[in-house]
């Protein structure tokens, strides 16, 4: 999610100002950043993790109509989803990136967790944090605005991915396991920081709803 934001902002900055169409919609960027891993939930339907949802061509086809309607504005959103497997997964694992033209898995396979993985995830989080402060997104995402309710979607996706491993583990041994390896502890720490930020942003969105309700109930 952090890298999706970094890549999307970088691509957005390359688009001519007249074609950018305003600020990026951050909840969508964050969700797109993890969307390829939706294949995890379809394992019992025979969908193999890191297969077609991790293919560049699959997403090019999905985005073709979006591009036809929204033009260059849509490219940062495509970048958010493509970086998931063409950057992140390609470095730490192997993915079927050229499907349907090749069913081979490509990747540097550094491992997860590994030093490179922890370094990448932490660097992504720090970069995203730096950008979000300077481009004004932090102020918008922490303001009492009902748009921020949608930040609860990436929050839920993040929690779901963190608890994914709890399907085979009960929670207490899972939490204990996190402390057995420094790399895992660091990764969980990164995830908790991001989760806290998403939760606060979402709660600010809910507060906007509450305020609106309080205002309307006061009017006679």
Which residues would be at the binding site for Zn ion (CB under 5 A)? 36-37, 89
Give the nearest distance from C-beta 88 to Zn ion in angstroms.
Answer: 7
Q: Are 198 and 150 in contact (CB under 8 A)?
A: no
**Distance in Å, CB of 130 to Zn ion, minimum:** 25
Cβ proximity to Zn ion: between 85 and 197 the closer is 85
> Residue 164 gets which letter from DSSP?
G
Smallest separation (angstroms) from Zn ion to the CB of 112: 10
Q: In the complex, what is the shortest distance from the CB of residue 83 to Zn ion, in angstroms, rounded to a whole number?
A: 11
Q: CB-wise, 37 or 117, nearer to Zn ion?
A: 37
**What are the residues whose beta carbons fall under 8 Å from the beta carbon of 127, sequence distance 6 or more?**
2, 3, 6
DSSP alpha helices (H): ranges in 84-181?
A: 90-92, 115-134, 137-141, 152-163, 171-178
Smallest distance, Zn ion to C-beta of residue 142, A: 29
DSSP codes joined into one string, 6-62:
HHHHHHHHHS-HHHH-SS--HHHHHHHHHGGGGGGGGGGGTPPTTSGGG-HHHHHHH
User: Judged by CB, which is closer to Zn ion: 89, or 121?
Assistant: 89
**Closer to Zn ion by Cβ: residue 154 or 202:** 154
User: 36 vs 76, which CB is nearer to Zn ion?
Assistant: 36
């Amino acid at each position: 999610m952090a890298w999706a934001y970094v890549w999307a902002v970088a691509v957005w900055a390359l688009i001519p100002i007249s074609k950018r169409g305003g600020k990026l919609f951050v909840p969508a960027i964050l969700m797109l950043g993890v969307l390829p891993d939706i294949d995890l939930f379809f394992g019992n339907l025979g969908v193999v993790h890191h297969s077609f949802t991790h293919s560049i061509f699959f997403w090019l086809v999905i985005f073709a109509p979006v591009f036809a309607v929204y033009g260059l504005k849509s490219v940062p959103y495509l970048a958010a989803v493509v970086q998931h497997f063409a950057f992140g997964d390609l470095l730490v694992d192997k993915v079927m990136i050229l499907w349907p033209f090749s069913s081979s898995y490509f990747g540097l396979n550094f491992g997860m967790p590994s030093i490179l993985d922890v370094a990448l995830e932490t660097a992504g989080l720090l970069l995203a944090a730096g950008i979000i402060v300077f481009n004004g997104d932090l102020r918008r995402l922490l303001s009492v605005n009902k748009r921020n309710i949608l930040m609860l979607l990436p929050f839920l996706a993040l929690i779901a991915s963190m608890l994914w491993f709890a399907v085979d583990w009960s929670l207490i041994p899972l939490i204990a396991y996190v402390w057995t390896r420094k790399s895992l502890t660091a990764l969980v720490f990164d995830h908790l920081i991001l989760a806290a930020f998403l939760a606060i942003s979402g709660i600010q969105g809910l507060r906007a709803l509450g305020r609106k309700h309080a205002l309307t109930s006061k009017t006679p």
